[in-house]
Structure 1
């Protein structure tokens, strides 16, 4: 039976930093996102990762998005090094991907470090062995299922997500007005903290960055394997809550109003603070 994921659940995943922490113990996230065609995706994902609470972000991408990332977030490191989690694929297109980049992504997906697989890297997730959180929307999910040879007829979104997760041996976060998170063992959660105003360009890039930050933080503080489903659901809850706070602020609290992805990312610290305040 699916869990309805909420703030209390998210609070069990997040960790308040202590005086003993440094930037490495708080989590290091590597990001291979953005492209010459879609450079803004890199900015949105990196912004979200920093805003969600992370010790260090390493961004590795083409020159144009790298310049934009450093202009927006100069604290970002743009050289390779040790990471505790990856986000790959946001703002990329497999048809434009160079052979060297494909090789680099396949290397990440065959390693031991957990990976958030988004958008233009989803085609590489089939057959990968790294611990993975996939973040497709419905159309991407349909293409993924076709690549796996899974039939779509008669399956509910939840049943389809569970089947896909089992076939991949990974966690699937199926985006929607109610986001469904399913892992390979049959664990399921629903996340409904968002707002219809989230249906706008770039919010998926923000989501991937938020999940990546939660994942890196969890991996840094864990003494053993991280429950990827709970991490994914927590990132989705924070993303939805940040958007809800943003849309309320857009009209001064008098109802709700339109938002942009970058604006929503700016409310992630408030969403995190709410969760930590409510945590036992």
Structure 2
């Protein structure tokens, strides 16, 4: 099955909080991203998760990005504890990763909580046993497939994403002007970015935070049953991300935007998706 994704479909995978909710019932997301070299990735992913409507974000990372995250979002909990999903790898470099960090990431990837795997953690993702969502751009996807012994991508991104999902048992979120979400069960969704202004540094870190927030909320609500059930959540996140970019650009007369602009437009994007149902 292949299909385009809409705002109304996105709204069905969101939930308005009620008077009975607390921060735990709305979802707790663990974020292990950023580095001394790329601390901004941690800030952007955490900001995006909060702006998407998560109940709590736990951030675990090096000293410099931790300071930046808390300066921007002081409500973030910089301590280990129970979470319902993870985002790992954004703003990190596998070639600079130490043995201790590799072991910590492997523990996450072999636990039971769903994991959004981005950037510098993609090299560890294939042999993970946790429910996983892999978020490569085209060059990262090519490297991932080479490591799996799969053929070069070529021009058919949909087929390539589908075979990568089958080979890894993970949902593949292949980022681009059209983001392809492929499930291990063969389902594929396509989500248009909406504006070319979205192609700018840091927006992938924002998308990872949005996906993580939706997955953690769905786990808290009992809506995640297997790896395949993660694919529509990733599609919903990609739509929210693209629509937030459109809103941010429109607010600036149709002009250029930054990744933080996209994150700050997410609350309106969420509200409009909920209203579309």
TM-score normalized with structure 1 length = 0.96
**Aligned counterpart in structure 2 of residue 250 of structure 1, from 231, 249, 252:** 252
Deviations 1:76-95 (A, max 9, x none): 00000000000000000011
Which residue is equivalent to 2:3?
A: 3
Which residue is equivalent to 1:124?
A: 124
1:1-280 to structure 2, matched below 5 A, reads 1-152=1-152, 154=154, 156-222=156-222, 225=225, 227-251=229-253, 256-279=254-277
Question: Is 215-224 or 55-64 further displaced after alignment?
Answer: 215-224
Distance across 2 between alignment mates of 1:95 and 1:277: 45
Aligned length: 275
Please say if residues 181 and 188 of structure 1, whose CA atoms lie closer than 8 Å, have aligned partners that are also in contact.
yes
> Structure 1, unaligned stretches of length 5 or more?
none
TM-score normalized with structure 2 length = 0.97
Question: How far did residue 212 of structure 1 move?
Answer: 0.5
Please say if residues 119 and 140 of structure 1, whose CA atoms lie closer than 8 Å, have aligned partners that are also in contact.
yes
Distance across 1 between alignment mates of 2:153 and 2:208: 29
Please say if residues 194 and 239 of structure 1, whose CA atoms lie closer than 8 Å, have aligned partners that are also in contact.
no
User: What is the DSSP-based 3-state SS (H/G/I as helix, E as strand, rest coil) of the residue aligned with 1:179?
Assistant: strand
User: What is the DSSP-based 3-state SS (H/G/I as helix, E as strand, rest coil) of the residue aligned with 1:181?
Assistant: strand
Calculate the aligned-residue CA RMSD, in Å.
1.0
Please say if residues 165 and 184 of structure 2, whose CA atoms lie closer than 8 Å, have aligned partners that are also in contact.
yes
> Structure 2, unaligned stretches of length 5 or more?
none
Question: Is 204-213 or 186-195 further displaced after alignment?
Answer: 186-195
User: What is the DSSP-based 3-state SS (H/G/I as helix, E as strand, rest coil) of the residue aligned with 2:127?
Assistant: coil
Please say if residues 153 and 160 of structure 2, whose CA atoms lie closer than 8 Å, have aligned partners that are also in contact.
no
User: What is the DSSP-based 3-state SS (H/G/I as helix, E as strand, rest coil) of the residue aligned with 2:271?
Assistant: helix
Distance across 2 between alignment mates of 1:89 and 1:39: 12
